[in-house]
Copies of this chain bind each other. A is one copy, B any other.
């Protein structure tokens, strides 16, 4: 997904939201806003949105000196979702097709985005999610691909959401003999998962955790670590969670299933869905 002009004001907005999590000092908030605004003329639209957004988050770190402003929010989201874990498992186990239900819930978990609206979302979205049909639905291919895979790379997205990912990972385990790898970001950025979140939520007990080696809120292959790239290239199925990973991997080589909530007009239009829709989309490009 290329960067559209619309992405630039949106990135300014996202950065403002993020710096407010770091400090209540309006002078510092303004300083960050000014720095990101001043950087906009230098942002190349041939980069993908997460690469550009990343520059804003770096400016926040530089100006505030806080390397992980969302730490408390991330841990709270993990804890809250872990409390719901038995309920989520229950929904999956009692459903007609546990793998599909786990997919739907993992996609619903992608609603858990940074910010104060978190609390309500974790508790309320997931029950209705089971009943809602996916707007783009490549589940039959997903089920078949999972079953026959030998290496599955699952790329995580947000904290809290990772508990829903764990439930899906557990269902995938039952459906395949493949080795499963779970990928996290290399450094804290917004509320994205890093290695400590995989440990906090027990995902490290189910599968191997690797880092993408970057501080980008997405998966920009050419910037990822050699280890990550090796797994990416060896995986016969990639599961990509969330819009940041979609924006990064759309159009890239590989056998990818995108599981996400469409969060802006541009992504929704490209996916052929509406904002807020739950999406499971298959993209298999030989490159």
**Interface of A toward B, CB cutoff 8 Å:** 5-6, 8-10, 12-13, 16, 26, 29-30, 33-34, 37-38, 40-41, 45
Contact = CB atoms under 8 A, between A and B. Distances in A.
A206 to B, nearest CB: 40
A286 to B, nearest CB: 31
Nearest to A45: B30
A103 B40 CA distance: 43
Number of copies: 2
Given A5-B33, A9-B12, A9-B33, 13 more contacts: A5-B16, A5-B29, A5-B30, A8-B12, A9-B16, A10-B13, A12-B37, A30-B45, A33-B40, A34-B40, A37-B37, A37-B38, A38-B41
Contacts of A38: 37-38, 40-41
17 contacts: A5-B16, A5-B26, A5-B33, A6-B13, A6-B16, A8-B12, A8-B33, A9-B9, A9-B10, A9-B33, A10-B13, A30-B45, A34-B41, A37-B40, A37-B41, A38-B40, A38-B41
Contacts of A16: 5-6, 8-9
Q: For A16, A34, A37, A38, which residue has the most chain B Cβ atoms within 10 angstroms?
A: A37
Contacts of A5: 16, 26, 29-30, 33
Contacts of A9: 9-10, 12-13, 16, 33
A7 to B, nearest CB: 10
A30 B34 CA distance: 18
A8 B26 contact: no
Contacts of A37: 8, 12, 37-38, 40-41
A37 B40 CA distance: 6
A10 B12 CA distance: 9
A10 B16 CA distance: 11
